[in-house]
Chain A
Amino acid sequence: MSNVQRLPAEQMFQNEIDALIAAEKDPIPTGWRMSPKSVLTYICGGKVGKTEIIPKYIGNKRLVEICIATLVTDRALLLIGEPGTAKSWLSEHLTAAINGDSTRVVQGTAGTTEEHIRYSWNYAMLIAKGPCPEAMVKSPIYRCMESGSIARVEEISRCASEVQDALISILSEKRISVPELGIEVPAQKGFSVIATANTRDKGVNDMSAALKRRFNIVVLPAPSDMKSEMEIVKTRVNQLASGLDLYAKSPDDDTIEQVVTIFRELRTGATLDGKQKIKTTSGVLSTAEAISLLTNSMALAGSFGSGEVDAHDLAAALQGAIVKDEDKDNICWKEYIENVMKKRGSAWLPLYRACKELN
């Protein structure tokens, strides 16, 4: 079990979920394992009895409330946002808390077909026995409808529009028909869908108005202030580091602050004090990238360095994360190093030198 690269949320936070269920006092909606208020506590953090609940989503609590309330009303939920704003993260934890099962996922890609949404057949059995329930391969959504739980559709806007359309009837009729078997499967109470979609990416299929209308839409913003973004990065880096057995110390607050500062400044196109304009890069530079950047540099430091993240590890990781589109990004990054970083004083000096060396 411990060799699994990444445990699903419900296993990772098993003890928290158990504690919440044990302490439950409020009424529980059909098909749910805990009350909406407990789900909120699970996502946003708090304390139940003696168990400390780690906040999973740091940001506007009200948005989480809206998400949960949406699922209580059996409406489907659509999470929209720029890459790296914790859409999938939130959707995973919502299903983990509500159903204790976050694994019923349809991954939306350009190659996703209608069968992935509805059902397909085990052809060997189909040929041997003809259409029968045993020959059917049910999609995660199908199974969720039967069990009255919540299915996840990731990156819905990457699916072709006819695949998106398949969802429309499921969401409005709340039943799925199997003409081959002459049956119709109604969704049990508690069934719903959480979909996520990107706003920034290219090559995305626009969602039809008909489909959008069947979702309650919540837009997840990038972290609004420096403090909350630092908190997100810190918690996640520590979690990941312990899970991945990186033989390096977690980066200290100053390092995290530097990375978050650089990311925020390049993202918004101005220094934090708003006094200087900066060119923005072609990448989104999300919080998620900042997290993976820091774990990367931890891996570097652990495997090849001193075991502590130093300026050189960080500089290499920064270079890789920021410079994506060779020419343009490189210019932005060089300008940033010279115009902003250089003037930041002694605390930034090692990082400045290391970045300068690489360029």
Chain B
Amino acid sequence: MATPVFFGVRHLSPAAAHQIRKKLDEIKPDLILVEGPSDLNDQMHWFCHPKTKLPAAILAYTEQMPIKTLLYPFAEYSPEYQAILWANENKIPCRFMDLPSHVFLAISEPEHEADNSSMTTEVVYNQLETMLEESHDTFWERKFEQLSDGYLEAAEEFGRQLRLSAEDSPYRQAENHIRESYMKRCIVHAQEEGYETIFCVCGAYHVEGLKHNEPLSDEEEKSLPSVPSNITLMPYSYYRLSQRSGYGAGNMAPAYFELLWKALCSEKPENAGYEYLTRLAAHQRKQGHMVSAAEVIEAMRLARTLAYMRSSRYPVLQDLRDAAITCMGHGQLSELSVSIANVEIGLKIGELPDGVSRTSIQDDFYRNLKELKLEKYRSPESLRLDLDLRENLKVKSEKSAFLDLNRSFFLQQLRVLDVRFGTLTKYKSDAVWGESWFLSWTPEAEIELVEAALLGETVKLAALYKLKDRADNCTEIAEAAKVFEDAFLCGIPKATEYALSALQMLSIDTAAIEEIAKTAQRLSYVIRYGDLRKFASDSIEPLLSQLFLRACLILESSCICDDEAAKGVMESIDILNRVQIDHDFLDETQWISLLETISNRDDINTKCSGFAMATLIERGLVDETLLSTEVSRRLSKGVPADLGAGWFEGLAQKNRYSLIMRLSLWRELDGYLSSLDEEEFKRALVFLRRAFSDFSPNEKSDIAENLGEIWGLEPEQTANILMSESNTLLDGLDDFDFGDI
């Protein structure tokens, strides 16, 4: 029986991918074994499907909390992938040989276990980096990616030395031992089946173990633990690959490695450098930066010299990038950073054909699409969908009567899960019963959907989990109110209950008036339109009353503030006022007496007092006499001009039209101004000017008309005089000392 051929690789290594094909052509094995979960064998053929576009990944995850995951990402230049492709082209059987995912997940190391060992593989890598003064990736590229042959021997030796010098935690060692024994078992089984030349593709680290370990016995195999889990193929993206999520060996520059792979395939490895630099230059030009061809040439020459100084045959990514920064970026990485990200990482996203094994959440998603008649929106083109959430009375079945509502629930759930399928836009009218979405389907959304599988079996359950999680992490009531609103929009009663209790708990703590007002506003919205989404709002009425009471209690003291904060307070008064009008169960008498107190007090921010007055006017609770008394009291000669004007500014925030119509008000103002002496007038003018600054020209001319009537002048004449006079008045202010204002 011939010994199997072991090809130790680095995952995601173009040179390994290139040489593995050569080696396969040379050996022509009759079975290929690949390091990968052996329970995925029946789905391996999807990798060879003509519609499959890499990058893709194998994802395994436990069904129960806490969820553990396993991820094997593959790119076009993965040696494992090329081996699988070769097997398919040559009609040779090919299998995965690693532990089945349900076993692997059961034995894999708990995530946060402290690693006490002093010589982990990480540490060895770090030592290597200190010694070479280069990153481990660059070292690998320099030493291994440029080998024209002998990769197999070199990688094997590297793996052997790594095993000798590194000592991982006992847990990890045991894990590796079990994996290697299991793989050995697969190899022995294959040999017993009668395969002559077996070709094994595995991580370089494992070669030594596979050669010398004993295979797992039947009893041992039976005693392996197992957890309920799922396994699936999913599309992947270069961006995610560069993040190194999943297992350690991702790579930082997937798009560059693809260039390297293509250059190797065309037997011209030096092309990768040319391609990289010209692409970088093209990107720079696209963004409007001048990059001449001469600079690209200089960068290439510099990169080559750098490579020469490090004794490598071709410039590696680090050399190319440093050279580009020096020659094209004027020595600054920041000038090139966007282009570098584009050229090194790229935007490539994988695709899998329809019908590839799906996670339950994907199944649920497609079932929902069908049920809600949304299938035609599953296209890359962005399509608009208008929803009318009201019951459709023209149809018979309940299902179709509430079709749009259920669609909205579904889309909102996806939004909560951050699956970018639909974006909510403004509905054409302000109607609360309508929603407008732009729907488009991208592979990125598919990836996000698969990732959501970790949160729950169905879209709804995943959304529920996510909302609960968010509710648990809330620290402010405004946050909790947002979660509550989201839960309400998703139409998941369990989530709304949960968010509500979180909200209740937080509402006991002290909070600023604005936060309370905004929360009250959200709750009010849900109470008013709850039935539209078939939501029973009775449960939140007590909470709203509680919040409203709290707001009433702290509002008065909140009004003692500076002008900056007064803006927020005025906004809160407005919101609370509207909430009170909308809901009868909130105490009206208390609210109005509070407004009166604020309006009457002299020792709080006058803007707030003015605004409270305006609110009372709006509710029809202030008669002409009261108003004119108040105006003359607030704007009297002794009161500092800024306070008086501030009050007026607050007053003028609301119902301007009715203010303008009240002649008595302007008479009072006129009387106030004429009572001032020159210096006082100048001060008052500055502040009043600010108070009137956001009046529209029409409103201003109406005021001018009023004043004209008071002064007994022709309306138009007054307006003209005012316009011209205001300019001369402003000139006069040039000498005015603004220092103390």
Contacts and interface: CB of A to CB of B under 8 A. Distances in A.
Interface stretch (A106-114, A128-136, A173-181, A211-219): A211-219
Secondary structure of the B side of the interface?
A: helix
Sort chain B's interface into a size bin. Answer: 20 to 34
A34 interface: no
Contact of B292 (A66, A68, A213, A216): A213
Contacts, number: 52
A65 B583 CA distance: 74
B306 interface: yes
Interface in B308-329: 308-310, 322-323, 326-327
B309 A65 contact: yes
A306 B133 CA distance: 44
9 contacts: A36-B309, A62-B133, A66-B326, A75-B298, A75-B301, A78-B331, A213-B295, A217-B331, A218-B331
In the complex, the 10 A-B pairs of residues with the closest C-beta atoms, listed nearest first: A217-B331, A69-B305, A219-B331, A73-B301, A72-B305, A69-B306, A216-B326, A217-B330, A73-B305, A218-B331
A153 interface: no
Contact of B309 (A69, A75, A209, A212): A69
A66 B306 CA distance: 7
Interface string A54-98: 000000011001101110110100101000000000000000000
B292 A65 contact: no
Given A36-B309, A40-B309, A217-B330, A73 B295 contact: no
A236 interface: no
A127 to B, nearest CB: 44
Nearest to B332: A219
B703 interface: no
A70 B302 contact: yes
Nearest to B298: A75
B309 A217 contact: no
A127 B332 CA distance: 50
Given A62-B322, A70-B326, A216 B309 contact: no
B331 A80 contact: yes
A33 to B, nearest CB: 17
Nearest to A216: B326
Interface residues of A, number: 22
Given A75-B298, A213-B295, A218 B326 contact: yes
Contacts of B298: 73, 75, 216
Given A70-B326, A218-B331, A219-B331, A65 B295 contact: no
A66 B302 contact: yes
B294 interface: yes
A347 B728 CA distance: 67
Contacts of A72: 305, 308
A37 B309 contact: yes
A65 B309 CA distance: 8
Nearest to A67: B326
B133 A61 contact: yes
Nearest to B327: A216
Given A36-B309, A80-B331, 10 more contacts: A36-B305, A37-B309, A61-B133, A69-B305, A69-B306, A69-B308, A73-B298, A213-B295, A216-B298, A217-B331
The residue in A69, A70, A73, A217 that gathers the most chain B C-beta atoms within 10 A of its C-beta is A69
Contacts of B305: 36, 69-70, 72-73
Contacts of B309: 36-37, 40, 65, 68-69
